[in-house]
Structure 1
Amino acid sequence: MDIYIVTLTILGFVVLLTAWLPMLLRRLPLSLPIFCIFLGAVLAWSPLPLLPAFNPLENRAFTEHMTEIVVIVALMGAGLKLDRKIGWRRWSTTWRLLGIAMPLTIAAIAFLGHWLLGLGVASALLLGASLAPTDPVLASDIQVGPPQSGEEDDVRFALTSEAGLNDGLSFPFVHLAIAIALAAKHGADLWQDWLLIDVLWRIASGVGMGWAAGSLFGHLAFRLRGISLARSQDGLVAIGMAFAAYGMTELILGYGFVAVFIAAVAFRDSERAHDFHEQLHDFAEQIERLLMMVLLVCLGSIAVSGPLLKNIDWRVGVVAFLTLVLVRPLLGWLSLLGSPRSTGENLVIAVFGIRGLGSIYYLAYATGHAEFDKVEVIWATVVLIILTSIVVHGVAVTPTMRWIDGTRKSKQPRSDTNSA
């Protein structure tokens, strides 16, 4: 059989399933990513010619760029969802998760990698920086609803805004891991350049360029009479804004992921009530879902047929278990102590730190810029954690969100939702 024709046929069914499966799985304790992983495994075990098995160790550049694209689209969609204006008190939960939980999570996972897996400093830090961010791609079931839909309770908002920002803010630690690896080999001084460029400049330029781009796009969409972008009613505008904001920011060495999310937030802020936001969000979500399904089918195929997971042993299993069951839940919950929500809501926010395609991107990016010791072990650990997170969180998300919705209906809106 012609592998191209078989792949084209499978792709056709995958595209059809992107539209049908969300309706089917809506009330079941299953998620679309679980089905994609299962489908990839079945295809790998079937007598059909295998889908192109893009082992990330052998096809690093392909892996980096494909995951990069899907994260960019997901970040634009996440930013367009948010009805809540940015503010210190309105986003207080987000700042706690970013400023307290994420750095502590990076340190804890790096410690586990060094202690249990025997990783060097650079490799251990890379493991922590890759796995600390929650994923904007796989977290759609726990995020807020479409723009102006009213589906923006505190739990969903916290998980959406955190996923939107921490995928970029973990990058300084990825760059630090790269710098340490290069310094060990070439003896370069790293701290001053890392602090000035990778932390201060890249974050500031990401935020600044993102806000400027979003404001510009908002002017083009809502302020031009007769020829505004909003009059086109074309969802492709969302993809154009995402890629333009990302590219312009990367050209000045800023964090493009931060810029894309900030651009979407600024675009919403320019005209909050227009129905064009919903059209843009819906189109971005469709593209995101399609790309996600294709990549996860490939990941499921790799997981059962490729050599990637041969490096899994009991130590990798222990690190994966502790990361998902102890590290993120505990540190996330501690960072939220004193917040106005109930203990149960804080636990949901802490537990649902889903790991996904963003982690694969960081790992592919870093290994293309420096050599790390035991890189096969790092890849195996990251993939195992992602697969476990997809299954565990996917099974738990439907009943958990149903419980959140039930408790929300029985309560008055919380004060930090509307405060300035």
Structure 2
Amino acid sequence: MSNAAWPPDPYILILTGSGLLIALVAWLPLVLRRLPLSLPIVCIAIGALLFQFAPIPIKPLPMRYPLFVERFTEFVVLIALMGAGLKLDRVFSWRRWAVTWRLLGPTMLLTIVAITLLGVWMLGLPLPIAVLLAGALAPTDPVLAADVQVGPPKTGEEDEVRFGLTSEAGLNDGLAFPFVNLALALAASAATGAPWAREWILHNVLWEIGAAVVVGWIIGQVFGWVTFHIPAESKLAQTGDGVIAIAATLISYGVCEMAQCYGFLGVFVAALAIRHAHRSHDFQREMHDFTEQIERIAMMVGLILFGGALVSGLLAPLGWIEACAAAVILLVIRPAAGLIGLLGFKADMSEKLTLAFFGIRGVGSFYYLAYGLNHIDVSSGERLWAVLGVVVLFSILMHGLTVTPVMRQVDRLHGRDPDADMSARDPHVSADER
């Protein structure tokens, strides 16, 4: 304890700010759940105000801290993927997951091709850099999509819209990362003339996807057995400690990376395997809730830094061409690709439009671009970050302001009371209070 002084020691300010952040993590979702406003929008606004008016000596621009951006966003996405996998009540099967395959297959591939063409023809990017931008912007985000995802385990809230968007966000890394690696392969080939196709297909596509599924499934099976099925006195579920989910996340990711396969995909598959090990056990909810709390804190930190980057010059290289490209990506490419992918799918048109529209971009896109730029030498890095930044900003604003009324309408379409459903999804509301 020190004597009172002004201005306060920076350490004390950090402690106080951290306490306020954690309090907001717990409180803001309760305040915002019936408003046409999302938690990410509030976080970005807080970050912009802090870095604009508070005496903070750093500018959180991604080009200044490339390794931190890659590692921090990597961690946030990992935690979100485990939470997304633990949420899903629907038993895995090719038929039951039909909406997922449509969003992963034609929708995402069309999105990657369209953004690549846009990058080459409209933004004037070299092909490898356009592919990198497409790989970063094509996948939907598992971190910022909580408002359009299924509820916690065992709540039974798995209409096609929520299930489709949750499962797509969990699995699309297995399709996005090969295209990020394709960009690296094309860049290396352009510099050295070395062939790239065989290595990319055999290793980056076939091996890294297939091995990630196998490794994630095995680790999930092991954790599921140790957690739920060994003798009662020693099984992990007896601890009631949801931190086990974080252990499973880190081990799955680490083993996948050592096996040179896609760790993001491995983590989500592991989460599905753990969820399948004992679908009705209450400990599933304990693991999910702990994971969600860590994810929400990390997400808020990341979006506060994003808000700071916006007022520190992130969008300075932006021109009208880049702004128009961002609008085309969000308003034309994703919705059109989504509707094409859902052709013939048995669902109400309003559900198809919602699935096509709510392809939110966010923390995952930050990770892919940071990863790509940390592995190739690009002269237009600031411009790429500006394009990505404005797409993510527009996406968060557009989806955040429309998600509450749209999802309430989806609930009404299915004969559900949206207010009752939000209460059921809220982990802070007990069964007695509902």
- TM-score relative to the length of structure 2: 0.92
DSSP 3-state at the match of 2:59: coil
Cα RMSD of the aligned pairs, angstroms, is 1.3
Q: Distance in 2 between matches of 1:41 and 1:3?
A: 19
User: Which among 184, 207, 218 is matched to residue 201 of structure 1?
Assistant: 207
Say if 1:73 and 1:239, in contact at 8 Å, map to a contact too.
yes
Aligned to 1:237: 244
Contact 2:245 2:288 in 1 (8 A): yes
Partner of 1:133: 139
Query: Of 60, 76, 82, which residue of structure 1 is paired with 2:66?
Result: 60
Distance apart, 1:240 and its partner CA? 0.5
Give the Å deviation of 1:373.
4.4
**Structure 2 equivalent of residue 418 of structure 1:** none
Task: Check if 1:172 corresponds to 2:172.
Answer: no
Name the CA shift for 1:52/1:217 in 2 (closer, same or farther; >3 Å): farther
Return the alpha-carbon distance in structure 2 between the equivalents of residues 401 and 95 of structure 1: 22
| Cα distance between partner residues in 2 of 1:299 and 1:390 | 12
Confirm or deny that 1:91 pairs with 2:97. yes
Counting only pairs closer than 5 Å after superposition, residues 248-397 of structure 1 correspond to structure 2 as 248-305=255-312, 307-397=313-403
Do 1:81 and 1:147's aligned partners in 2 also have CA atoms closer than 8 Å? yes
Distance 1:179 1:367 in 2: 13
- Give the letter aligned to residue 407 of structure 1: L
Given the alignment, which residue of 82, 86, 110 partners 1:80?
86
Q: Does 1:41 align with 2:48?
A: yes
User: Using the alignment, how far apart are the partners of 1:327 and 1:10 within structure 2?
Assistant: 40
Separation in 1 of the partners of 2:13 and 2:370? 28
- Contact 1:110 1:128 survives alignment (8 Å): yes
**Separation in 1, partners of 2:337, 2:195:** 32
Task: Tell me if the contact between 2:212 and 2:261 (Cα under 8 Å) persists in the aligned partners.
Answer: yes
Question: Is the 2:60–2:308 Cα contact (8 Å) retained in structure 1?
Answer: no
Please list the CA deviations of residues 243-273 of structure 1 after superposition, one character each: whole Å capped at 9, or x if unmatched: 1001101100010000000001011111111
Deviation string for 1:99-133 (max 9, x for gaps)? 11101101101111111111000110011010000
| TM-score normalised to structure 1 length | 0.95
TM-aligned CA deviation for residue 81 of structure 1 = 0.2
Whether the aligned pair in 2 keeps the contact of 1:122 and 1:372 (CA below 8 Å) is no
Supply the distance in 2 between the matched residues of 1:35 and 1:308 (Cα, whole angstroms): 19
The answer to whether the 8 A contact 1:3-1:50 is kept is: no
Structure 2: tracts of 5 or more residues without a match: 1-6, 418-434
Larger mean CA deviation between 335-344 and 156-165 belongs to 335-344
Secondary structure, in 3 states, of the residue corresponding to 2:315? Answer: helix
CA distance in 2, matches of 1:33, 1:92: 30
How many residue pairs match? The answer is 409
Summarize the alignment of residues 104-123 of structure 1 with structure 2, pairs less than 5 Å apart.
104-123=110-129
Counterpart Cα distance in 1 of 2:335 and 2:17 = 38
Residue 414 of structure 1 corresponds to which residue in structure 2? Answer: none
| Residues 44/15 of structure 1: CA separation in 2 closer, same or farther (3 Å cut) | same
1:400 aligns with 2:384: no
Please say if residues 94 and 162 of structure 1, whose CA atoms lie closer than 8 Å, have aligned partners that are also in contact. yes
Tell me which residue corresponds to 1:417. Answer: none
Cα-to-partner distance string for 1:385-420 (whole Å, 9 max, x where unaligned): 001111110000100110011001179xxxxxxxxx
Identity within the alignment, %: 50
